[in-house]
Amino acid sequence: MPDCTVVVITYNDAARLPRAVRSVLRQSLRDLEVIIADDASTDGTPEVARRLMDSDPRVRYLRREVNSGGCGAPRNDGIDLASAPSVMFLDSDDELPRHACKSLLTEMERTGADFVSGQISRLFESSGRLQAYYPGLFAERRTVEGIRQEPELFLDSFSTNKLYNVAWLRDKALRFPEDIHYEDHVFATELYAVARRFAIVPWTVYHWHRAPTNDSISLSIDDLENVRQRVIAARLSDDILRAHDAADLVPHRQYRFVRQDLRVYLNPLPLRDLVWVKEFASVVRPYLEEVPDEVLWRVDPLNRVCCRLILDDRAEDLRVAAGSLTGPRAAPRAAVQLGGRTYWGTSASPGLDITGLRLAELPYTASRLRHEVCALSSDGERVRMTVRTYDPFGALPPDWTAFLQLGKKRVPIEPEPSDAGGYVSHVTFTPSGKCDPRIGFTRTSDGHTTTDRLIVDPRTEPIELPGCTVKPEGYAAYLSVRPDSIPRSVWRRVRHRLLKRFNTPANKLRAYKLMIKVVPRRDDLALFESDVGKGYSGSPRAIYEELRRRRLPIEVVWSVAKGRRNFPSDARLVRRGSWRYIWTMARAGIWVDSHGFPLDYPKPKGTRYLQTWHGQGIKSIGFDAPDLRGDFDRPRAQWRAAVARWDALVSPSAEFSRVFLPSNGYSGKVYRCGTPRCDALVRAEPMGEVRRRLEIPPGRQVLLYAPTYRDRVKGSGKSVRVDLELLAEELADDWVVILRTHPVERYSAPEHLRHFVRAAGSYPEINDLMLASDALLTDYSSVMCDYALTGKPMLFFIDDWDDYRLSERGVYHDLPAIAPGPCLSATEDLVAALRNLPAVHESYAGRYAAFRDLWCADEHGDASARIVADFFQGAR
Radius of gyration in angstroms for the set of CA atoms belonging to the chain, rounded to a whole number: 32
Residue 151 has pLDDT above 60, yes or no: yes
pLDDT for 276 beyond 90: yes
Mean pLDDT of 454-466: 92
Q: Quick check: helix, strand or coil at residue 642?
A: helix
Q: What value does the mean pLDDT take over residues 412-430?
A: 94
For the stretch 843-853, pLDDT in tens is 999 999 999 99
Please write the tens of the pLDDT for every residue from 825-840.
Answer: 999 999 999 999 999 9
Among 329-338, 479-488, 823-832, the range scoring the smallest mean pLDDT is: 479-488
Query: What is the pLDDT, as a whole number, of residue 213?
Result: 67
Which pLDDT score, from 0 to 100, does residue 875 have? 63
Buried b (16+ CB within 10 A) or exposed e, 334-367: bbbeeeeebbbbeeeeebbbbbbbbbbbbbbebb
Q: Name every residue whose Cβ is closer than 8 Å to that of residue 327 and which is 6 or more positions away in sequence.
A: 453, 474, 475, 476, 478
Instruction: Compute the average pLDDT of residues 572-585.
Output: 96
Strand, helix or coil at 795? strand
Q: Contact 88/7 with Cβ under 8 angstroms?
A: yes
Mean pLDDT of the residues in the chain:
94
Checking if the pLDDT of 488 tops 80, the result is no
pLDDT computed for residue 126 by the predictor: 87
- Residue 872 clears pLDDT 90, i.e. is over it: yes
pLDDT tier at 222, thresholds 50, 70, 90: confident
pLDDT at 494: 79
Instruction: Indicate whether 215 pLDDT > 80.
Output: no
pLDDT at 197: 97
Cα torsion angle, 804, 808, 814, 818, sign: negative
C-alpha distances (whole Å) from 594 to each of 4, 556, 610 are 56, 15, 9
Contact 593, 608 (CB under 8 A): no
Within 13 Å, how many C-alpha atoms sit on residue 728's CB side? 20
**Structure confidence at residue 217 (pLDDT):** 53
**For residue 876, pLDDT beyond 80:** no
Between CA 438 and CA 452 the distance in angstroms is 5
pLDDT digits (tens, 9 = 90+) for 712-727: 888 889 999 999 999 9
Q: Label the pairing between strands 142-144 and 198-210.
A: antiparallel
Give the separation between CA 158 and CA 116, rounded to whole angstroms. Answer: 12
pLDDT in tens, 435-446: 999 999 999 999
Other beta carbons within 10 Å of 214: 12
Instruction: Tell whether the model's pLDDT for residue 294 goes beyond 60.
Output: yes
| Angle (CA) 535 811 637, round 5° | 70
Q: How far apart are CA 863 and CA 460, in angstroms?
A: 63
Nearest to 472 by CA among 299, 289, 268: 268
Report the share of the chain in percent with pLDDT over 90. 89
Q: What Å distances lie between residue 185 and 155, 267, 324, 654, CA to CA?
A: 10, 20, 27, 64
The predicted structure's pLDDT at residue 500: 81
Interval 201-209 mean pLDDT:
97
Give the other-Cβ count within 10 Å of 513's Cβ. Answer: 13
End-to-end CA distance of the chain: 83
Q: Count the helix, strand and coil residues of the chain and give each as a percent rounded to the nearest 5.
A: 40, 20, 40
| Average pLDDT of the segment spanning 630-638 | 87
Residue 216 has pLDDT above 80, yes or no: no
Per-residue pLDDT tens for 24-67?
999 999 999 999 999 999 999 999 999 999 999 999 999 999 99
Give me the phi and psi of 734, to 5 degrees please.
Answer: -120, -20
Q: Is the pLDDT of residue 646 over 60?
A: yes
Say how far apart CA 510 and CA 524 lie, in whole Å.
25
Q: What mean pLDDT comes out for the span 741-748?
A: 92
Q: How does residue 432 score in pLDDT terms, banded at 50, 70 and 90? A: confident
In a 3-state reduction of DSSP, which class is residue 422? coil
- The pLDDT tens digits for 767-818 are 999 999 999 999 999 999 999 999 999 999 999 999 999 989 999 999 999 9
pLDDT tens digits for range 663-680: 999 999 999 999 999 999
H helices present in 386-520, as ranges: 490-502, 505-518
524 vs 633 pLDDT, higher one: 524
Quote the pLDDT of residue 859.
97
pLDDT at position 118: 97
Model confidence over 588-598: pLDDT tens digits? Answer: 999 999 999 99
- Is pLDDT above 60 for 428? yes
Collect all residues with Cβ–Cβ distance below 8 Å to 599 and sequence separation of at least 6.
Answer: 638, 639, 641, 642
SS3 133: coil
| DSSP secondary structure letters along 593-619 | ESS-S-TT-PPPTT-EEEE--S--SSB
